[in-house]
Each structure stands twice: as structure tokens, then as C-alpha cells.
Amino acid sequence: MSTELLMKIRIKWIIIYTILLIVFILITASFLIMYMVENDANYSSISFITMMIAVWIAINLARALKTKIPKYRYIEVVKCLSCGYSFKKKPDEGDYILRDVGICPQCSGRLIVYSIYREKVE
């Protein structure tokens, strides 16, 4: 998946978890108030359950906030078939492996795209 899509998904889940956390905190507070007013043990049990759900949502929200999306850069290795001369560059659109990209500056042999890979940007 692309980095932009991963960021959109991450932001969407952070918003959902935040809204759910607020809702469950309000529900827990309302059941605690009802327990204090009516002194019924059922409200205490329900408030405990909703509080546990709120804690679970808070843990998932913390995980979503900690998640880092890695950034990558793409590198193309161009190599001469005759002398082995090679250099790295940023790939152009439409490049593919074994594509002929020109003439070697050292021996006038064929230069081809030897590999295309990505590496993590620190």
C-alpha cells in the first residue's frame, strides 16, 4: 500500500477510537451517577463493563498513535554488460529490469538497468 493510503487509514482509526473513547467515558460516568443516586448494584456492574471497554479502546488508541509508517526511497542500479561499470540513480517512470539505457562512458558497451530496489529512509 502507498504511504498516503496508510496515513489516511491511520488517521481514520485514530478519529474512530477517540470518538468511541469519549462515548464510553460518558456512558461510564452516567452509569456511575445512576449507581450513586439509586444505589442499585446493576448500575455498578454495567459501569465496570463500560469502563473496561473504554480502557480497551484507550489501549488501541495508544497503539494507533504509536504506529509509525516507514518511508522508502527507490534506487535503480545501472550496469555495463562489458566492463561492469555501474552507478545508482533515482528510477524514471517506465524503467524496468534489463532495459537498455545507453552507452557506457568507459568502454562504450551497453548499459542496462540491473536492479531496482527500495531502502528505508532513516
Average pLDDT by stretches of 10, the chain with 122 residues:
83 94 96 93 93 96 88 92 91 90 90 92 81
Say how many C-beta atoms besides its own lie within 10 A of residue 91's C-beta: 17
Dist CA 122 CA 113 (whole Å) = 26
- The per-residue b/e assignment along 8-32, b for 16 or more CB within 10 angstroms, e otherwise, is eeeeebeeebeebbeebeebbeebb
Per-residue pLDDT, 58:
96
Dist CA 43 CA 122 (whole Å) = 51
Per-residue pLDDT, 103:
93
What's the pTM? 0.60
SS3 of residue 69 by DSSP:
coil
Per-residue pLDDT, 1:
65
Hey, what's the cell of 115?
Answer: 536492479
Asked whether the beta carbons of 85 and 106 are under 8 A apart, the reply is yes
